[in-house]
């Protein structure tokens, strides 16, 4: 692959990964109070969460747990793209919602985080 | 040294080819004599019974360099102890019966391996002069190596920033990370304090599967973003990574950014582990 094509591929990858918000966009306006109602630890299932927030970036672990991530800004995928990750990072995102499911697919923990300037 | 049955090959192909090449050269030398009708001398038969595959090992001098680095930067963690720790690099690596020794042509020093797979490296001038290696009884590429720096008094669910900074320095100077030996990376490792100078992307392992990490220094608190947890979503060169089998424990610390923002050495990274109640 020539250098310009490689660069174009990286930029395209960054563009694809850099969508505005994961899921249906509900996380953009989510408040801590509404999160408590929408995400019930020990009760809410994957289906409940997908209905409320749409499709997440999913990480499955060897221990059977599953992590769902909603980000406003760049998707986490950009952090692993060589050279592109020197310029942009999902660490700079304005907001993210992380939900941990146990082996039975029920919410075990969640975290709503706004970036501190 | 203990070797598992699955660590031994029936035939070392490279050595066999080498011997075949030597055998061909010998036959070529003997050719004219044989052609002249003289009796050919008996050629000793060499039986290749097998040879061990390359072990998972690091140069002893590299680990000494890690020790030296920790001593030079001792101010970061004055009371800390330095050990080294290994993790399975792939899910199919059997960690039972793991042993480690310092070995060289004239060196064979057993190293005590603790139940948590940590070990200390003794200073031995003869072993260094012998070009020894620190060798595990596992095939090359089986283990992920890390420095393990611990100050006393740190809670079990936390790590101290200065300790982690020292670990980073020891990991880089000891060449413990498995990473692409790209010229840029090699150049970075030559810096005096690479972890403090450049924003390295290096992966640490938590003691248990981790959900979140909060930085705590007095009243100051800040959560690490998802970008720094559980490794990268895309892995272009998985063969060069040593953290993939530990994804649920992986976290990154951006030392330069944290120190530039005024977080002190005594800052605690408080872990919210997956399997316990959120603190």
Q: What is the structure's pLDDT at B36?
A: 36
pLDDT for position B8? 31
Strand ranges of the sheet holding B210-217, from the earlier edge strand across to the other edge: B158-160, B268-273, B210-217, B220-223
Q: How far apart are CA B59 and CA A58, in angstroms?
A: 39
In the predicted model, what is the mean pLDDT of residues B41-54? 58
pLDDT tens digits, B130-169: 999 999 999 999 999 999 999 999 999 999 999 999 999 9
Return the closest-CA partner of residue B191 out of B174, B164, B172: B172
**pLDDT tens digit sequence for A77-109:** 888 787 777 788 888 888 999 999 999 999 999
Confidence of residue B3 (pLDDT cuts 50, 70, 90): very low
- To the nearest whole Å, the CA of B232 is away from the closest chain A CA by 5
The verdict on a CB contact (< 8 Å) between A80 and B232 is yes
pLDDT digit string, tens, across residues B232-248: 887 878 888 899 999 99
Predicted structure pTM score: 0.80
How far A68 CA lies from chain B's nearest CA (Å)? 11
- In the block, tokens 């174009």 appear at A8
Residue B24's pLDDT is what?
A: 32
- The domain spans of chain B are 5-52, 55-273
CA distance A70 to A90: 11
The owner of tokens 């260094």 is B128
Q: Which residues of B touch A (CB under 8 A)?
A: 91, 201, 209, 211-212, 222-223, 225-228, 230, 232-236, 245, 247-248, 254, 272, 274, 278
| Widest pairwise Cα distance in chain B | 96
Tell me: the pLDDT tens digits for A12-28? 555 555 557 789 999 99
């Amino acid at each position: 692959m020539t250098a310009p094509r490689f660069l174009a591929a990286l930029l395209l990858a960054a563009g694809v990964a850099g969508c505005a918000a994961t899921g249906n966009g509900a996380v953009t306006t989510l408040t801590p109070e509404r999160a408590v109602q929408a995400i019930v630890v020990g009760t809410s299932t994957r289906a409940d969460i997908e209905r409320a927030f749409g499709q997440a970036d999913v990480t499955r672990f060897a221990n059977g747990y599953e992590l769902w991530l909603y980000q406003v800004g760049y998707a986490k995928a950009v952090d692993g793209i060589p050279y592109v990750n020197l310029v942009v990072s999902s660490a700079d995102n304005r907001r993210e919602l992380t939900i941990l499911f146990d082996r039975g697919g029920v919410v075990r923990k969640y975290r709503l985080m706004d970036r501190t300037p | 040294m203990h070797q598992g049955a699955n660590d031994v090959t029936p035939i070392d192909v490279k050595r066999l080819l080498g011997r075949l090449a030597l055998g061909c050269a010998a036959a070529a030398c003997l050719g004219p004599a044989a052609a002249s009708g003289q009796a050919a001398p008996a050629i000793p038969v060499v039986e290749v019974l097998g040879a061990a595959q390359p072990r998972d090992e690091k140069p002893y001098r590299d680990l000494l360099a890690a020790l030296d680095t920790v001593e030079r930067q001792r101010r970061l963690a004055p009371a800390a102890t330095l050990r080294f720790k290994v993790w399975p690099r792939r899910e199919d690596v059997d960690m039972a019966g793991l042993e480690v020794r310092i070995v060289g042509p004239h060196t064979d020093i057993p190293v005590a391996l603790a139940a948590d797979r940590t070990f200390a490296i003794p200073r031995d001038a003869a072993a260094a002069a012998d070009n020894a290696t620190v060798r595990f009884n596992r095939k090359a590429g089986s283990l992920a190596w890390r420095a393990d720096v611990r100050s006393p008094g740190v809670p079990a669910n936390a790590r101290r920033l200065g300790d982690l900074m020292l670990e980073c320095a020891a990991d880089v100077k000891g060449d413990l990370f498995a990473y692409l030996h790209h010229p840029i990376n090699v150049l970075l490792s030559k810096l005096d304090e690479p972890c403090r100078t450049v924003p390295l992307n290096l992966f640490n392992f938590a003691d248990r599967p981790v959900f979140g990490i909060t930085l705590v220094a007095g009243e100051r608190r800040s959560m690490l973003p998802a970008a720094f947890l559980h490794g990268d979503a895309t892995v272009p060169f998985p063969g060069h990574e040593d953290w993939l089998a530990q994804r649920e424990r992986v976290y990154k610390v951006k030392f330069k950014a944290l120190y530039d923002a005024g977080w002190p050495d005594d800052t605690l990274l408080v872990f919210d582990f997956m399997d316990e109640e959120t603190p």
